[in-house]
Amino acid sequence: MFMKELRVALFTGNYNHIEDGVSLTLNRWVKFLEDQGVPVLVFGPTIKEPALDHNGRLVSLPSIRMPVSGRGEYRVASGISQKAEQELENFAPTLIHIATPDLGGFRALRWAQKNGVQVVGSYHTHFTSYLKYYGLTPIEFIAWRYLSWFYNSLTQVYVPSRSMIEELEEHGFDPGMKIWARGVNTTLFSPEKRDLKWRRENGFDDDDIVVTFVSRLVWEKELATYRDAVQRVASRNKKVKPLVVGDGPAKAELQEQIPEAHYTGFLGGEDLAKAYASSDVFLFPSHTETFGNVTLEAMSCGLPCLVAD
């Protein structure tokens, strides 16, 4: 009965204009809700040529390019337009879910409070961990103050891991956060997808040790650590070969720094599963993850994983 009465408005900073872990997670969630007969209306920034075909109905929010060097492909919601607010009122949600604490999320919070609608949120992006990469460490204290105030204003907060809950509580988040567990398609991501032909076609010998990195290619994913580690090991064992799967603003510079690596560009679905399973080691040293779906996918494909603590 409750599920039939539920009407969810989702506010997010990225739903279809960039294909990353957050947008994929939210799209899967919206599909699940709609498959259960739950009406969902999504609000977020849009562009003319989105990176993925999204699930559900998406209402565009006014937005600007992220004002940070090297991240202009991301959009930041600058509020809620009058048209979008009318869409929200017409939809008459019984629950608002905020996935991004930007100005769009802030306005959604205020609207929910004004109209007596329950509002919950999820913590997907470890915002403060990005600051050092853009020379913004001095504002870390202010960022934590805003984030803790914002999320403490919600009825419930969902976080992807226990370690993330512990860190957030250390910075003033109220206890009571719940884990939104992640899953993986073990039929798609399987050791059975290993393909020697694929390895050979991509320049790897059968006895090479392929050390793979899968992510959006931005420096805050600790690409420098991957570069240094794989080159150091390769200097001692010539059979060690780097494989980089993904795309992003750091790709050209990374290709200059690791010219010996094989770069596939963005892969998804069966192609991504084959790349994982045809590798030998997964190296993912990023400290900016709240969860890291790629690690779960690599493990599902049978790879030993070396990751940041």
Q: What is the number of structural domains in the chain?
A: 2
Q: What is residue 20's DSSP assignment?
A: S
Residue 184 in any domain: the answer is no
88 and 155, same domain (yes or no): yes
- Cα 287 to Cα 115: distance, rounded to the nearest angstrom: 39
Query: Both 14 and 161 in a single domain?
Result: yes
**Whole-number pLDDT of residue 2:** 47
* Residues 141 and 247 reside in one and the same domain: no
Asked whether residue 164 falls in the same domain as residue 30, the answer is yes
State residue 288's pLDDT score. Answer: 76
Residues 243 and 171 occupy one common structural domain? no
Q: Are 79 and 215 in a shared domain?
A: no
Give the model's pLDDT for residue 128: 81
pLDDT exceeds 80 at position 8: yes
279 shares a domain with 219: yes
> Is the predicted pLDDT of residue 126 greater than 50, yes or no?
yes
CA-CA distance, 223 to 271, in Å (whole number)?
Answer: 22
- In the structure, what pLDDT confidence band is assigned to residue 272 with cuts at 50, 70 and 90? very high
Residues of the chain above pLDDT 70, percent: 96
270 and 170 in a common domain:
no
Q: Verify that 134 and 114 share a domain, yes or no.
A: yes
Q: Is the pLDDT of residue 3 over 50?
A: no
Domain membership of residue 17 (yes or no) is yes
Q: Could you give the CA distance from residue 149 to residue 68 in angstroms, rounded to a whole number? A: 24
CATH code for the domain of 46: 3.40.50.2000
Of 130, 153, 179, the residue that ends a domain is: 179
What pLDDT shows up at residue 31? 96
CB 281, CB 209: distance < 8 Å: yes
Dist. CA 290–CA 127, nearest whole Å: 10
Helix (H, G, I), strand (E, B) or coil at 76: strand
35 and 174 fall within a common domain: yes
In this structure, are 114 and 227 located in the same domain? Answer: no
Predicted confidence (pLDDT) per residue in 44-85, tens digit: 999 888 878 898 999 999 998 876 666 667 788 999 999 999
pLDDT at 72: 64
* CA nearest neighbour of 120 among 9, 36, 14: 9
Q: Are 88 and 80 in contact (CB under 8 A)?
A: yes
User: Does residue 108 sit within a domain?
Assistant: yes
Give just the sign of the alpha carbon dihedral 64, 65, 68, 74. Answer: positive
Say yes or no: 63 and 131 in one domain: yes
What residues make up the domain containing 195? 191-307
Q: Which of 137, 155, 179 is the last residue of a domain?
A: 179
pLDDT at 95 > cutoff 90: yes
* Better-scored residue on pLDDT, 308 or 250: 250
Checking 259-268 for CB contacts under 8 A at 24+ apart, the result is 260/234, 261/230, 262/202, 262/203, 262/204, 264/202, 266/19, 268/19
* Residue 290 in this model has a pLDDT that exceeds 80: no
Tell whether the model's pLDDT for residue 140 goes beyond 80. Answer: yes
